Amino acid sequence: MTKLPTDLLIESLAAQAGPVTPLASPLRRALAAVAALGLAIGAAVLLFAFPDSIAAQAADGRGTLGFELASMAVTAVLAIFGAFHLAVPGRSRAWAYAPLAPFAAWFLLSGVGSYRVLANGGHGGWELGESVRCLRFILMVSAIVATPLIWRLSRARPITPGPVAWLGGLGAGAASAFALHFFHPFAITFVDLGVHLLTILLVAAIIRLLDRRVLRPA
Amino acid sequence: MHWGGNGADGELTELLARAQTGDADAYRRFLRGAAPFIRAVARRRLRGDEAVEDAVQEALLTVHRVRHTYEPGRPVEPWLAAIAVRRAIDIARRGGRVGRREVHDEAAYETFADPRTNAVERNDDARELRRMMDELSPGQKEAIELLKMREMSLAEASTASGQSVASLKVNVHRAIKRMRLMLAKGPPE
């Protein structure tokens, strides 16, 4: 089904050779995005967070809280780095798997923490409780985080938008779940954890479904 | 231009960097130099010269759209290879879909082997199509010709006609709607 001779197509494309501004390297663009995200979350925490949120969760019997927070932050950062790298042709596909280990560590550590809360007779058990608020928070913050992130990613017009969308969604969801801990003055139960996981996957799936519209693939 | 050594890659790297500044001659030379490499990548994944050439053209159009993502100074080969592979996969998938839609019809030989068998009907159809095309606006006619008759992609049709992708879509949609109405009404007395 070849339509135009290739030479003719080349001439036609060369005739449209306007100047373009090369994108900065994915590393620099990802660093800028992560720095902006860090500043925004930091400002929101300083201005609006519950002052004793982290102390309350730590006192609720979760010795792993620091590691959980670190693994969430690393998941978000690696997912964002991966999305920026995969948006550009020819970069290593290994970036797609970079956030998987911290993501697994996060849920493993949170699972252990939730078990400790349950074993110590903590609140919550298997009730839905505050989980609906968590879901609302993660969805809302993810939308705020994802909008500029996806816009930045779309500038590369990714040729394989699927993995870029998944990683962008995972990055936004993980960053939101990280921020949630500063607005969540009680320990996370198994139900909360399940809701967090489902919400993050939901965010990633929504962005994946919209990828052809929002990422402007080439 | 030979691939596999640093010489060709280095030359193309320089040409692409110059093309990013708007140098049309460098861009033309880059595209001409890139086409054989893309063709070689496509040949490893596709069967048939036509499918390979489709992949080459799709890849060149993609190169045009994403040329701003090339980072000057980096080797151009991985960047170009990723685009070529992606477009070859797209063409292979599209080919697979067409293959699934088309069926082998034993009786088709009897009906279609002799071109004279259907000549009368074909002439009538062609006349009817021409009549309907004459009724369309110039933009709609152009969109149908490029996208449906010459089977160009939206990007190619946009390049060839100067219409935006969005207006091509709108024109095709309106043209088909209008032609359906004309078909329903039948030819004028």
How does pLDDT run across B56-79, given as a tens digit for each residue? 999 999 999 999 999 998 999 999
Hey, of A3, A7, A155, which one would you mutate to test binding to chain B, going by the most B CBs within 10 A of its CB?
A3
Backbone angles phi, psi at A192, to 5 degrees: -55, -45
Does B53 share its domain with B77? Answer: yes
Supply the range of the domain harboring residue A51.
24-214
The DSSP letter of residue A96 is G
Which residues are CB-contacts of A200 (< 8 A; sequence separation ≥ 6)?
A138, A142, A169, A170, A173, A174, A176, A177
Tell me, yes or no, whether B1 lies in a domain.
no
CA distance A175 to A54: 16
**pLDDT tens column, A65-106:** 888 899 999 999 999 999 999 999 999 999 999 999 999 999
Could you say which of B72, B101, B130 is where a domain stops? B101
CB contact under 8 A, A6 and B81: no
Handedness of CA B81, B84, B88, B90 (dihedral sign): positive
Q: How many domains does chain A have?
A: 1
Residue B111 has pLDDT above 70, yes or no: no
CB contact under 8 A, A13 and B53: no
Return the CATH number at B19: 1.10.1740.10
Does B94 share its domain with B115? Answer: no
Could you say which of B52, B81, B101 is where a domain stops? B101
Tell me, yes or no, whether A106 lies in a domain.
yes
The pLDDT value given to residue B2: 44
CB contact under 8 A, A9 and B60: yes
Nearest in space to A5 (alpha carbons), one of B63, B57, B58, B150: B57
Distance (Å) from the C-alpha of residue B138 to the closest C-alpha of chain A? 21
Q: How many domains does chain B have?
A: 2
Does B92 share its domain with B14? Answer: yes
CB contact under 8 A, B61 and A17: no
Supply the range of the domain harboring residue B179.
110-185
| Nearest Cα residue in chain B from A89 | B79
A8 touches chain B (CB under 8 A): no
Tell me, yes or no, whether B64 lies in a domain.
yes
Does B29 share its domain with B88? Answer: yes
| Nearest Cα residue in chain A from B70 | A22
Does B78 share its domain with B123? Answer: no
pTM value is 0.73
Does B96 share its domain with B141? Answer: no
Does B23 share its domain with B95? Answer: yes
The minimal CB distance from A17 to the residues B23, B56, B62 is found for B23
Identity at B2, one-letter amino acid code: H
